[in-house]
Amino acid sequence: MDLMSLTAVELGSRIKAGEVTAEEAAQAALDAIEKKEKAVNSFVTVDREGALRRAAEVQKKINDGTLTGPLAGVPVAIKDNMCTEGLLTTCSSKILYNFVPTYTAEAVRRLEQAGAVILGKTNMDEFAMGSTTETSAFGETKNPWNTEHVPGGSSGGSCAAVAAEECSYALGSDTGGSIRQPSSFCGVTGLKPTYGTVSRYGLIAYGSSLDQIGPIAKDVTDCATILEVIASHDAKDSTSVLRDDYQFTGALVDDVAGMRIGVPRDYFGEGLDPEVREAVLHVAEELKKKGAAVEEFDLSLVEYAIPAYYVIACAEASSNLARFDGVKYGYRTGEYEELHGMYKKSRSEGFGAEAKRRIMLGSFVLSSGYYDAYYLKALRTKALIKRAFDKAFASYDVILGPAAPTTAPRLGESLADPIKMYLGDIYTIAVNLAGLPGISLPCGKDKNGLPIGVQLIGDCFQEKKIIRAAYAFERTRSYEHSPMAM
Amino acid sequence: MEDLKTKQKNVISDETIEYVGILAKLELSDEEKERAKRDMGEMLDYIDKLNELDTDGVEPMSHVFPVNNVFREDVVTNGDGSEATLANAPERKDQGFKVPKTIG
């Protein structure tokens, strides 16, 4: 039996039943990493010793009955922008090439408490800025379906690790689509929760008002189960929200009868690959067959989400990334004279091209004389986008559309034209601006055998509705393992 | 025709790139400066699309949910982590971070 082909929940239940030990599971994952890493490059850091030590500790606690949860003993990979005490955390940037955090991110701590065994840290676009994982300072990650293609980004390492079956599940983060788009490209399921649902404590900030941590796994059941563990109201994150209901697995029911599903016409216009369009509309058909009321509508303002996002995200990034100055941690330039020279040289040598591009743009839109015209204009646009979604959710329970306009592009084709690359986030970005939950799950493949993802968007705090719709659709097809999984 | 199509509306001057570099604490090479001028101009041309929208009377929305200050008692809950913190210092001297001289 190949332990890595199981879902996280399946593996967890076998461990619980005593059929498999946590050590065996960790060893299986480490063997898979050993075998596949050269071809995929999903990881920045693999913590072999730590994982085995931890697996032994967890197994003891399972044996003595202290750990009884569904994820106890299951191996996980963590995106490298979440702090892990004592374990290198780089954000895939040269400026943090040697940073060893002194504390653990709250979401990761909650996983550990539930008995997760951390295998290592996954590759990403530098500081989560990118859509391909090609801006990493530690080399690009490859798509497990076809290693000539990108895995998407910025959580490309996490999604590729799940698809290649180097881990049972992973954590990613989503600022403009960074969980949903690579999930779509890699044929896995990824969920971006409502803003404030998962603590951002210990998540290295990119766009603080947009960032959310979420699960990436083989199926909807895993995602709901993981979310239930990582979601919390955390006093250490001032934007953390106290929710009424954290029982996300309660929504794993194959029943969409009467559910109102809106299909925005503006998500199916110019730029959408016809094969993606067909596969995504097929999902609407399946849900209709199961009793959902499916209707087309006009969401509006779709084309304004990307420009508003880049103003807001870059403004926040320029402020968040001001802390990297070569004083307390990370990279410091070799030769310098005075303090400001040291800051400038360390930052210029430490950040990659995309990070610098966004810091520059962010500094500009926040500068005196441009703040109103750009930054405030973007925040007003965000308010209008939120209103458009509010209006839509007055009529629909779930919005259904593609996660990305195309399947995964070839390596090396995206970075030359940033605006074109940014346009690839057209269906995911507005969700972050409005703080909504969204899930991407596989719904087909194109003629080249690359996965296509469908995105389901819910109103704030309505994760259960998208989980229910996603689960109902998922029951109509079986999970397809990537060629790299074999 | 081609010229008109590729022509940028937002032309970023050397002075602006210099100034933004100071704000961003980045020192760009000449080549990077040229690239940054072009990139930023292109992005601003694109962002100017927002001007098509009438946002008069719309309040800027920084947070989707009402965000309030969260207060708590200032109580130490962790131990002394100074050694682990200093272990990350690019340069340290005794119990401090070493930086270039800042006052004469």
Mean pLDDT of the A319-346 span: 96
For A209-224, the pLDDT digits (tens) are 999 999 999 999 999 9
CA pair distance A187, A151, nearest whole angstrom: 10
- Unique residue bearing structure tokens 């596969």: A279
The predicted structure's pLDDT at residue B6? 57
- How many Å apart are CA B53 and CA A426, to the nearest integer? 18
3-class SS at B53?
A: coil
Per the DSSP assignment, residues forming a β-bridge with A117 are A75
Tell whether the model's pLDDT for residue A296 goes beyond 60.
yes
Kindly report whether the peptide bond that precedes residue A154 is cis, defined as omega within 30 degrees of 0.
yes
Side chain identity at A44, as an amino acid letter?
V
- Is A154 a known active-site residue? yes
Residue B60 and residue A195: Cβ atoms within 8 Å? Answer: no
Give me the catalytic one of A93, A136, A178, A183. Answer: A178
pLDDT for B1 equals 37
CATH architecture of A3-255+439-485: Alpha-Beta Complex (3.90)
Size of interface A-B (CB pairs under 8 A): 165
Tell me the C-alpha distance between A267 and A300, whole Å. Answer: 10
Question: Is A209 in the active site?
Answer: no
pLDDT for B2: 41
Pairing assessment for the beta strands A117-122 and A75-79 based on DSSP bridges: parallel
Q: Please give the ipTM for the structure prediction.
A: 0.92
Contact A378, B49 (CB under 8 A): no
The pTM score is 0.97
* Structural domain boundaries in chain A: 3-255+439-485
- The structural domains of chain B, ordered by start, are 4-51 (1.10.20)
- What does the pLDDT read at residue B5? 46
Residues 8-47, chain B: which have Cβ within 8 Å of A? 16-17, 19-21, 23-28, 32, 36, 39-40, 42-44, 46-47
**Beta-bridge partner residues of A262:** A295, A399
Q: Select from B25, B40, B47 the Cβ nearest to the Cβ of A347.
A: B25
Phi/psi of residue A176, nearest 5 degrees: -145, 10
In the predicted structure, residue A154 carries a pLDDT above the cut 80: yes
Is residue A367 annotated as a catalytic residue, yes or no?
Answer: no
Contact residues on chain B for A382, CB-CB shorter than 8 A: 60-61
- The lowest-confidence range among A70-79, A226-235, B73-82 is B73-82
Note which residues in 52-91 of chain A have CB less than 8 A from chain B. none
**Closest residue on chain A to B39 (Cα):** A357
In this structure, the number of other CB atoms found within 10 A of the CB of residue A300 comes to 16
Q: Do B47 and A307 touch (CB under 8 A)?
A: yes
Which among B16, B70, B101 has the least Cβ separation from residue A235? B70
